[in-house]
Amino acid sequence: MGLGLRPVFQPPPGGVVAAAMAGPHGNSLPRRLKLAQFDYGRKCSEVARLTEGMSGREIAQLALAWQAMAYASEDGVLTEAMMDARVQDAVQQHQQKMSWLKAEGPGPGDERPPS
């Protein structure tokens, strides 16, 4: 698993797996979020590859989107299809952001002094 996704899947204070494992201990939400049956390790490796170059903030937002989708679903199950849809959205948003940044050129702090 890539370093970029490692914090997402680690135990509390955050992460999708932490939310899936969390029970009523210390929070008011019942244990609702579940993971569907799929090769989770393979999926994490695939997501790590697809999100290469994304910031930690972008990856954290992706994990929160997975969690929100699962909680909003009728059965509270995070499916592989849900993960795929959000990854695709996040990758498109990241590509758009990078194209905007490239079009803007270097910012004031990005300029290098002459050698």
Tell me which of 66 and 12 has the higher pLDDT: 66
pLDDT band at 104 (very low <50, low <70, confident <90, very high): confident
CA atoms of 78 and 31, how far apart (whole Å): 13
pLDDT band at 40 (very low <50, low <70, confident <90, very high): confident
Phi, then psi, of 16 in degrees rounded to 5? -65, -45
CA atoms of 8 and 63, how far apart (whole Å): 7
Q: What is the pTM of this model?
A: 0.66
Per-residue pLDDT at 33 exceeds 80: no
pLDDT in tens, 44-73: 999 999 999 999 999 999 999 999 999 898
- Burial environment of residue 62 by CB neighbours within 10 A (0 to 12, 13 to 18, 19 or more): buried
Per-residue pLDDT at 26 exceeds 50: no
Whether omega before 113 lies within 30 degrees of 0, making that bond cis, reads no
Quote the pLDDT of residue 28. 47
Tell me which of 32 and 74 has the higher pLDDT: 74
